[in-house]
Structure 1
Amino acid sequence: MGQKRIQANLYKRYSKEEAEKRIAAYREKVSKNLARETIYLQIIAENKTRNQTAYDNRKLVKAGEHESCKQRKRRLRKEYLAKKSETLRVN
């Protein structure tokens, strides 16, 4: 509704060609801003889901239902060294 008024004022102030040129430039600027805003909102949504997933995983680790990365690395290293020392004792 306000756009019609703004366009009417542009047509009054400038010639038809100049007014159309300014309106086209404004529409291009608006479309770029909307595209930028869309990308920004997508990034925010991705970060929000990533943070929520990390939070849920931390809760599961504290509850003892999951292993953290460090716990898994320590366990695998311990198993590897035990298997390695066992093969050395057999030989």
Structure 2
Amino acid sequence: RQTFAFKFDDPEFDMLQMSYVPLHLINEIFKKEVPPGLGKLMGPVFSKIVDETTKLEEQAQKEVKKANEMLEANLENLRSELANDIPTED
């Protein structure tokens, strides 16, 4: 059984502390320690986490695509420069 240093008597402090706890452990706390009616609070928390994660994933994908495009352009320039440096017999 996981033991935590907070006892839900100071909600503001407890929520701050929970921001440092992995999501699955927070879910376990709510399942085991919080009265069932309050467990519904996790829905909006999970939704917000999913929204933020989705935004970060989209941003990361854009950055990777941008980096790939730059790499391809740089490789094409390098190929062109190397081709110009190779002596050919005419």
Q: What is the TM-score normalised by the length of structure 2?
A: 0.57
Q: 1:8 aligns with which of 28, 31, 41?
A: 28
Q: Let me know the Cα RMSD of the aligned residues.
A: 2.3
Aligned-pair CA distance for 1:46: 1.1
The normalised TM-score by structure 1 is 0.57
- Residue in 2 aligned with 1:48? 71
Larger Cα Rg: Structure 1 or Structure 2? 1
Please identify which structure carries the higher helix content: 1
- Measured after TM superposition, the shift of residue 63 of structure 1 is 2.1
Give 1:82's aligned residue. Answer: none
Q: How many correspondences in the alignment? A: 64
Runs of 4+ in 1 over 6 A off after TM superposition: none
Consecutive unaligned residues in structure 1, runs of 5 or more: 66-91
- Name stretches of at least 5 consecutive residues in structure 2 with no aligned partner: 1-21
